[in-house]
Amino acid sequence: MNIQKLILPIFSPIFIIILISSVMVNPLQLASSLDPSQTSPSRNRPAITLNEDNVFVLWPDNKTSTGKSDIFLAKSADGGASFKDILNLSNTTSRSANPELIISGANIYVTWLEDFNNSGNWEIYFKASNDNGTTFNKPINISNNTGLSEDPEIAADEENVILTWWDNSTSNGDRHVMYRASTDNGITFNPIITLNATTGITSP
């Protein structure tokens, strides 16, 4: 067999064009892949936390009157033996997804993604309870920008609450890790800090 005949087609212009086309990212596929409802199904799962006998389970559900998902919370006060008082925490006519929660003393902190006004602009929403989940404060739009905000994570300690998420709202459209902190149990939040992986920490 003539090995040269086999090698030459690999370097032919047609083969190279096919190769480049196969590795290029289709812009439509990229846009689709940034839709949290499509790319993060594994993240769109129930979340759970507990404090002594209090167990909280959080999940997204589209069995709503609008057919658009909301974030529901179930609380058990007997170590998970029984649950009652299922609360609809988002209660919006747009999609609500990817919930996370954390407990710190009598404070329950919840974050999720909200398809703001069904616009495709996903935002990081936050809601706090300061009475062990009996009542919740009004939701806060933590990201509040026109970029795609997704994958929120939350942590808390005493009166401090911190949130991080991905966001592409910067001028060049790059995705950055965003950070926002509260020092009063989630009542108010400091300005957003953008964590830039290439130049260090910058504030918008």
Which secondary structure element, helix H or strand E, spans residue 36, and what is its range? Answer: helix 36-39
Interaction between residue 98 and Ca ion (CB under 5 A): no
CB of 123 to Ca ion, least distance (A): 5
Of 93 and 183, which CB lies nearer to Ca ion in the complex structure?
93
When binding is defined by CB under 5 A, the residue of 44, 90, 111, 129 that contacts Ca ion is: 90
Closest to 102 in 3D by CA, of 44, 179, 160, 178: 160
The contact pattern for Ca ion, residues 108-147, with x = CB under 5 A and - = no contact, is: -------------x-x-------------------x-x--
Instruction: Please count the CA atoms within 13 angstroms of the CA of 21 that sit on its side-chain side.
Output: 6
Integer CA distances (angstroms), 7 to 3, 20, 70, in order? 6, 18, 57
Q: How far is the CB of 46 from Ca ion (least distance, A)?
A: 16
Listing DSSP states for 143-181 in one string gives S-SSS-EEEEEEEEETTEEEEEEEE--STT---EEEEEE
The stretch near Ca ion (CB under 5 A) out of 6-14, 18-26, 61-69, 175-183 is 61-69
Name residues whose C-beta falls within 8 Å of residue 17's C-beta, 6 or more positions apart in sequence. Answer: none
Binding segment toward Ca ion, per CB under 5 A, in 31-39, 52-60, 92-100, 186-194? 92-100
Of the candidate spans 26-34, 47-55, 94-102, 195-203, the one that interacts with Ca ion by CB under 5 A turns out to be 94-102
The residue within the footprint of Ca ion, chosen from 47, 57, 58, 70 (CB under 5 A), is 70
Looking up tokens 């839709």 gives: 35
